[in-house]
């Protein structure tokens, strides 16, 4: 477990919000932090670093909330995902579980993400651009923050157009907080790769996956790394995760290749379970969808 860092000069919260948002109607709270806890990072987030409106009722926006790390959900080459509880002490109505995806710092991360995904994107800060090109320590930190912001913005965009993605709660530096997909006891939803081999169920799940790919395609986008391992199945509903590499199929020279790769990955998995699917037919349909709408660059 990676412990949170709280304020160095206090272990007691200076405030507890009684209002709907972070800085209104404050009253004092007496809360001792323990290892694995921190004060909520919500008040420090700017409006553009918070999820789209209207927010779901379960989002805890009180400045008096405490974030408690409950364990790790997933490890990866660029980031790890932790289970987080954000709750207002003494108020059971203000408690929610979140998935905290943290991109690794310079000393623990490699440049695994291929530049093929970032073609067509731009870095406004010239110093950052030079650091990225040189792969310096600063460049690695910039890269981590760029991936977290790219994922957050992709989640916001996909949420806005109705794609089945976790609600993005906020982004802070190299950490993205998003809706936890799973049960209230903290059991994560299984990946598509883990579902049982039932023909009726598989047919329905494939239809859902194909539809979410159409939603992406209508925006001129491809997931870019779609597989049974970043598709979750919760209460019969498919939810797509891991979006930092989302690509514009028009602006990115490799966009159509990545879209085709997604189609092959998905269809091969279902075909191995004896479902009658055709990757080339799906790809042709998605290409038609992609060039029927104006594309969006993350």
Q: Is the pLDDT of residue 207 over 60?
A: yes
Cα–Cα distance list, 280 to 181, 187, 251, 263, 293 (Å): 31, 36, 22, 8, 21
For the chain, give the mean pLDDT.
83
Task: Provide, rounded to the nearest whole percent, the portion of the chain with pLDDT above 70.
Answer: 75
The per-residue pLDDT for 114 is 53
Task: Tell which residue, 201, 259, 188, has the closest CA to residue 229.
Answer: 188
Determine whether domain 192-290 maps to CATH 1.10.510.10: yes
Burial of 179 (0-12, 13-18, 19+ CB in 10 A): buried
Q: Is the pLDDT of residue 107 over 80?
A: no
The per-residue pLDDT for 25 is 38
- Residue-wise pLDDT for 30-83, tens only, equals 788 999 999 999 999 999 999 999 999 999 999 999 999 999 999 988 899 999
Cα–Cα distance list, 71 to 1, 135, 184, 296 (Å): 6, 31, 14, 35
Catalytic annotation present for 67 = no
Q: From the CB of residue 67, how many other CB atoms can be counted at a distance below 10 Å?
A: 22
In this structure, are strands 95-103 and 168-172 parallel, antiparallel, or unpaired? unpaired
Catalytic residue of the set 23, 80, 160, 225: 225
Tell me what the mean pLDDT of segment 174-192 comes to.
97
Catalytic annotation present for 30 = no
The per-residue pLDDT for 60 is 98
The per-residue pLDDT for 84 is 98
d(CA 66, CA 64): 7
Give residue limits of the domains in the chain: 16-179, 192-290
Determine whether domain 16-179 maps to CATH 3.30.70.2740: no
DSSP of 183-233: -TTSPBPPBGGGS---HHHHHHHHHHHHHHHHHHHHTTEE-SS--TTSEEE
Catalytic residue of the set 242, 248, 257, 262: 242
Element (H, E) at 266: helix 255-271
Q: Is the pLDDT of residue 292 over 80?
A: no
Q: Is the pLDDT of residue 22 over 70?
A: no
Q: Is the pLDDT of residue 14 over 50?
A: no
Q: Is the pLDDT of residue 93 over 50?
A: yes
DSSP of 123-152: ---HHHHHHHHHT-HHHHHHHHHHHHHHHH
How is residue 215 written in tokens?
A: 């939603």
d(CA 69, CA 97): 10
DSSP 52: P
The per-residue pLDDT for 116 is 60
């Amino acid at each position: 477990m990676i412990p949170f860092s709280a304020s160095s000069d206090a272990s007691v919260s200076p405030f507890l919000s009684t209002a709907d948002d972070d800085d209104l109607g404050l009253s004092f709270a007496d809360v001792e932090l323990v290892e694995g806890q921190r004060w909520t990072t919500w008040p420090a987030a700017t409006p553009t670093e918070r999820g789209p409106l209207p927010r779901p009722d379960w989002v805890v926006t009180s400045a008096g909330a405490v974030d408690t790390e409950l364990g790790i959900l997933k490890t990866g080459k660029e980031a790890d995902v932790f289970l987080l509880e954000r709750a207002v002490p003494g108020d059971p109505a203000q408690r929610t579980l979140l998935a905290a995806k943290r991109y690794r710092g310079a000393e623990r991360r490699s440049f695994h993400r291929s530049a093929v995904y970032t073609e067509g994107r731009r870095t406004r800060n010239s110093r950052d651009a030079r650091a990225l090109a040189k792969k310096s320590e600063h460049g690695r930190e910039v890269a981590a923050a760029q991936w977290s912001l790219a994922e957050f913005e992709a989640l916001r965009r996909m949420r806005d157009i109705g794609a089945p993605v976790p609600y993005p709660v906020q982004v802070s530096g190299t950490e993205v907080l998003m809706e936890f997909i799973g049960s209230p006891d903290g059991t994560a939803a299984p990946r598509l790769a883990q579902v049982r081999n039932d023909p009726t169920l598989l047919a329905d799940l494939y239809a859902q996956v194909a539809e979410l790919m159409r939603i992406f395609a209508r925006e001129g986008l491809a997931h870019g790394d779609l597989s049974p391992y970043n598709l979750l199945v919760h209460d019969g509903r498919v939810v797509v995760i891991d979006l930092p590499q989302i690509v514009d199929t028009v602006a990115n020279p490799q966009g159509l290749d990545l879209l085709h790769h997604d189609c092959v990955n998905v269809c091969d998995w279902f075909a191995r379970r004896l479902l009658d699917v055709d990757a080339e037919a799906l790809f042709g349909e998605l290409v038609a969808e992609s060039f029927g709408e104006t594309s969006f660059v993350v």
